[in-house]
């Protein structure tokens, strides 16, 4: 039967207003500390990987600290990996023993996470991997990503994939019935023939929406991080999800369907190179770069989901904390230009980006020009008020002698906008109130 575009836009209204979220990749892979795909990359057999299950004991885990850090960074929602590709569950599933409540740690991490989100008034999402390298009935030898792919010991193995699908359905039903309201269901991911109805996706979505009618769902039941699926088509499948999620790639323009209608989207990205904790990966992006990418996402009608990977003790790395604190400092003064904002009615300026909310236009200055700020498309007669967003200090349309010969509008700026507040080196925001 398919989905209606109008229903998708209604469900995602809050999502499109809040714009900025935290992704948390946490699991057994934090112990080897070589990234979340370590079992695949190093072709670790299930029995040998099990030692990490026996060692799992994140003694410093505190869901409230995680969620509060996200909140202080200006994030509005948080998504946690309830189960990643290795099959280890951070929730108390009755369908497996391979779960956090069955380790020496003995706690339901998903429950504590969701409780913390609700206490902090943050929207909460759960990631669930469609892949499962632990389940006996998941394909191995012929699968593109299984750690035992191509291993001759599994070439003649007989599996019953329907058993895995039943297991997957049961676990997802546990998630959407045992833990209260979930705001986002983040599936990952489809590939090759492992897509759509291979997952019995229509029935899966029907079940999820029966229990959680307001939940929003990503598009990875029919695609992956580099594909868009039927969300961009004229006929949208039942399992197309509610938003696109390009992975580690920021679209060069707003994403639309074939009718030209804007589609909700969210770029997920890492701070360094890995999603899960990697002890030797210190190639972190700067807060300046990430702030600018957040602005760019919003200017193109998208969200940004920024990842952290806690270590084996449950601590978020200090590099990540510092970056989030710096982003939070910028957001403290400038979040008005992010929340409830989207694509502006004017084209991108050469010195930065525009975001817009109703009659308020936000000029994000990445490269302060010499002299006044040029507003190429905005007539001065359309401007009601201009100020510096961080403190609402008044700015003026320029009458400078040197700009009078130009037929565009200029805004007078201080000689160095960043001299009083170093954090704004990332992006100085001018608020322009347009006349109705």
| Domain locations in the chain as residue ranges | 3-339, 344-434
C-beta of residue 24 within 8 angstroms of C-beta of residue 81: yes
CATH code that applies to domain 3-339: 3.20.20.80
C-beta of residue 141 within 8 angstroms of C-beta of residue 157: yes
pLDDT at 250: 98
C-beta of residue 2 within 8 angstroms of C-beta of residue 235: yes
d(CA 405, CA 398): 12
pLDDT at 421: 55
Q: How far, in Å, are 63, 129, 342, 390 from residue 354 at the CA level?
A: 35, 36, 9, 16
CB atoms closer than 10 angstroms to residue 371? 14
In sequence order, the β-bridge partners of residue 262 are 256
Q: Helices 109-119 and 63-72 sit at what angle, rounded to 10 degrees?
A: 40
The residue ranges of DSSP E strands in 292-366, in sequence order, are 302-308, 352-357, 360-365
Question: Can you say whether the dihedral through the CA atoms of 63, 64, 65, 69 is positive or negative?
Answer: positive
pLDDT at 402: 85
CATH code that applies to domain 344-434: 2.60.40.1180
d(CA 122, CA 411): 37
Identify the segments of the chain with pLDDT beneath 70. Answer: 415-424
pLDDT at 344: 99
pLDDT at 419: 57
Q: Helices 201-211 and 161-178 sit at what angle, rounded to 10 degrees?
A: 20
C-beta of residue 383 within 8 angstroms of C-beta of residue 409: yes
């Amino acid at each position: 039967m398919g989905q209606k575009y109008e229903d998708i836009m209604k469900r995602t209204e809050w999502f499109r207003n809040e714009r900025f979220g935290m992704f948390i990749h946490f699991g057994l892979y934090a112990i080897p500390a070589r990234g979340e795909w370590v079992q695949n990359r190093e072709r670790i057999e299930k029995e040998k990987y099990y030692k990490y299950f026996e060692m799992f004991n994140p003694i410093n885990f505190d869901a409230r600290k995680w969620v509060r850090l996200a909140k202080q960074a200006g994030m509005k929602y948080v998504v946690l990996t309830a189960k990643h590709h290795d099959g280890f569950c951070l929730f108390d599933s009755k369908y497996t023993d391979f779960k956090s409540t069955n380790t020496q740690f003995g706690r339901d991490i998903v429950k504590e996470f969701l409780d913390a989100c609700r206490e902090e008034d943050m929207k909460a999402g759960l990631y669930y991997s469609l892949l499962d390298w632990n389940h006996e009935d998941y394909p191995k030898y012929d699968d593109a990503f299984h750690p035992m792919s191509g291993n001759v010991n599994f070439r003649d193995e007989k599996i019953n994939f329907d058993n895995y699908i039943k297991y997957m359905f049961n676990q997802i039903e546990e998630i959407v019935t045992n833990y209260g309201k979930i705001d986002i269901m983040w599936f990952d991911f489809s590939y090759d023939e492992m897509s759509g109805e291979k997952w019995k996706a229509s029935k899966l979505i029907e079940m999820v929406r029966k229990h959680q009618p307001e939940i929003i769902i990503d598009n990875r039941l029919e695609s992956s991080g580099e594909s868009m699926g039927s969300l961009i088509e004229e006929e949208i499948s039942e399992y197309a999800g509610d938003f696109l999620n390009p992975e580690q790639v920021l679209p060069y323009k707003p994403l639309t369907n074939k009718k030209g209608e804007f589609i909700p989207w969210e770029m997920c990205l890492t701070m360094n190179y890995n999603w899960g904790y990697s002890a030797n990966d210190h190639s972190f992006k700067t807060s300046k770069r990430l702030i600018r990418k957040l602005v760019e996402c919003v200017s193109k009608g998208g969200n940004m989901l920024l990842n952290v990977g806690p270590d084996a003790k449950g601590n978020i790395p200090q590099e990540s904390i510092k970056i989030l604190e710096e982003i939070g400092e910028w957001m403290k003064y400038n979040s008005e230009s992010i929340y409830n904002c989207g694509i502006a009615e004017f084209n991108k300026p050469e010195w930065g980006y525009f975001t817009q909310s109703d009659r308020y236009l936000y000029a994000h200055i990445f490269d302060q020009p010499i002299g006044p700020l040029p507003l190429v498309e905005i007539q001065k007669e359309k401007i009601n008020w201009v100020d510096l967003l961080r403190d609402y200090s008044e700015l003026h349309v320029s009458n400078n002698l040197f700009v009078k010969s130009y037929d565009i509008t200029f805004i007078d700026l201080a000689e160095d906008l960043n001299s009083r507040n170093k954090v704004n080196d990332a992006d100085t925001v001018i608020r322009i109130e347009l006349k109705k």
